Structures are given as structure tokens and as C-alpha cells.
Amino acid sequence: MGIKETLPNNGNHSTGSEPATHVVTLVEAVNLALARAMEQDENVVVLGEDVGTNGGVFRATAGLKERFGCKRVMDTPLAEALIAGISVGMAAQGLKPVAEIQFMGFAYATFEHIISHAARLRNRTRGRLHCPMVLRTPYGGGIHAPEHHCESTEALFAHIPGLRVVVPSSPTRAYGLLLAAIEDPDPVIFLEPSRIYRMVKQEIRDDGIALPLDTCFTLKAGTDITLISWGACVHETLQAARELDKQGISAEVIDVATLNPIDYATILASVEKTGRCVIIQEAVSHCSVGSEIAAMLAEKGLFFLKAPVGRVNGLDIPMPYFQRENLYMPDVHEIIATAIKTMEYA
């Protein structure tokens, strides 16, 4: 079952031997988690294009090479297939590689190694080998870049048995979920919404405590309608929920967080309570994670529903170049309008 989240309160940095407290952005939380994992386990290594000397395209790995050395923070050639293949080999031999792909649109070159080998290694060897690797990549729109830098194609990875797919939506969840991903004995695709890398800051206690995988986070309780989202769209979803509250509509907000496997029990329990549901995602609607959640609700939650499941998506076209990006992305007004339409059913 999912967990109800209370965001950390601002406070003083800890003193003495207690873990330090930092007020950080999401990308800084990723850096903190990587450093903590590398400090705790010498088998954790980081690799990718420009991750060492330059600290990564978004600076997620800044300072790690200086702290842990070039044998644990490795710059690679511009070759995504090589990065994935080396990571599978490292993982099969006892290391815990955390590989960075600069943008999700470049991750497709990794599919052969990720799908054919990483995801199948435990099954293929009947449990003799496993593949404790993490593939990190920024993804999603909103950064005014060409389309292959801004895609939301998480469903491609979520479709594959044997792959965990995790998407943080805040600094707190980025820190805890990345630690959990690194500790997981099987491969994890860790998708970092680049639009919110530096959107907000939260206070994080750098204590090395992981958050649970395969679990939804209930960010706001409600009684009238369930709003389901993940990644960057969680921020617009929470804004819409607050506006709906002002109109007398009590919206529950669920952050799915792990897209494979999905915590359907939490979603079903929420929809049983509210009777209505809207799914918000940046990805296209066709064959998407949102489609799968809607299908599950039709199969297992039909008699809970008082209205058809609403969906707010990106358009079923390639991400337009940055001048028209805002027309593609779901926004607060669209979420509110879809929720109100869903509430109008008797």
C-alpha cells in the first residue's frame, strides 16, 4: 500500500554526529544521494558522458569525481550503447553502476542491452546472477530544447518485465528513491523530470534512508475525486487540487512514483473512496502508463466509479520545438476543467 507523505519542515542544520540537513533542489538531491550511496558502498560507481570532469549536463554529478576519484566516477565516450553494455557487465560482476544518459531521447540506443540483457539476467540465470544497475536520465518537456531532449516516453521502459521504472517529483523523493534504486538488486530506470530540476527546494536530512519503491505517495487527502500523476506534472496537479478546493471539490492527489510495477492497491483504495478519477501525464495518451491505469480501473474498479475516468495528456504528436512547447504540455486549467467535467456526472 502507498504512504501518506508529510513534506519536511524547514529548520536548522544538524550539529555534532547527526546527519547534515540541506535545503536543495531536485538535481542537488540527486547529487546528495549519489554521494551518500558511494560513501556507504565502495561498489557503487558512476559513469556517463561528461559526468566526471564537467559534472554532467545538468550538474547532477558535480564534485563526485573530485571526492571519489576517476576510478569510481568515469567519463565515457559519446556512446549510449557502450554505457549500457558496460553497466550490465559491471552489475553482473558485483559492482553497482549508476549510468547517466544525457537526455531520454538518447536512451533508445541502450535498448538492446537494457531490454535483452539487464531486464532478463535474473530470469535467464535462474537467480544465479542479478543486475543491480541504475540508468538515470533527464526526461520531459519544459526546458525549451529540441524534441529528443524533451520526450516523455516512459511507457517504453515500463512495458518491459524485469525493469523497475521510477520517477521522482520532488527533492525529497529524488533523494530517497534514488538511494532505493541503487540498493535494488535488479535494474532500475530512474527518470528525472528536467523541468523541475531547479523549480523548488526542500529540506533534506542526508541520513542515507531510502524511500520505498513500488509504492504510491498520497500527497493530499480528498473525498470527491482522485487526481493521479507522476513526475513534473505532480506540481500542476497539486495546484489544480488547491484551486478545486476553493470551488468546494475535495481532490485527493496521488504521486505514482514507480511506474513499473505500479501500486494499484493505493489507487483502487482512493478511487473506491472518491468514486471519480482523473489521470494527468505529460506523455501522449496512446499506449501510455495513464492508459494502463485507466484499463486497470475499468477491470477492477468499475463498480466504484461514478463517472468515466478522465485523462489529461500531451498531444499524440512529437514534442514540438520549444516555441510551441507550452501548447503541448498539460496545464493547471486543463486539469481543473477535466476534473469539473468528471464531477458533473450524476
Residues tagged active-site: 149
| CA–CA gap between residue 133 and residue 155 (Å, rounded) | 19
Cell of 56: 554532467
Strand spans (E) along the chain: 3-4, 21-24, 44-48, 73-75, 96-100, 134-139, 164-166, 188-193, 202-205, 217-220, 225-229, 251-255, 258-260, 277-284, 310-314
Residue with cell 526546458: 143
Residue length of the chain? 346
CB atoms within 10 A of CB 333: 11
Cell of 29: 538531491
Q: Cβ(134)–Cβ(99) under 8 Å?
A: yes
Sign of CA dihedral 111, 112, 113, 116: positive
Supply the DSSP symbol for 183: H
Supply the DSSP symbol for 9: P
Question: Dihedral angle at the C-alpha atoms of 35, 255, 165, 194, nearest 10 degrees?
Answer: -60
Residue 37, C-beta contacts closer than 8 angstroms, at least 6 positions apart = 44, 96, 98, 178, 179, 182, 183, 208
Q: What is the DSSP string of 98-161?
A: EEE-SSGGGGGGGHHHIIIIITTHHHHTTTS-----EEEEEE-S-S---GGGS---HHHHHTST
CB atoms within 10 A of CB 108: 16
The Cα-based distances of 307 to 20, 61, 121, 173, 229 in angstroms read 48, 46, 43, 32, 19
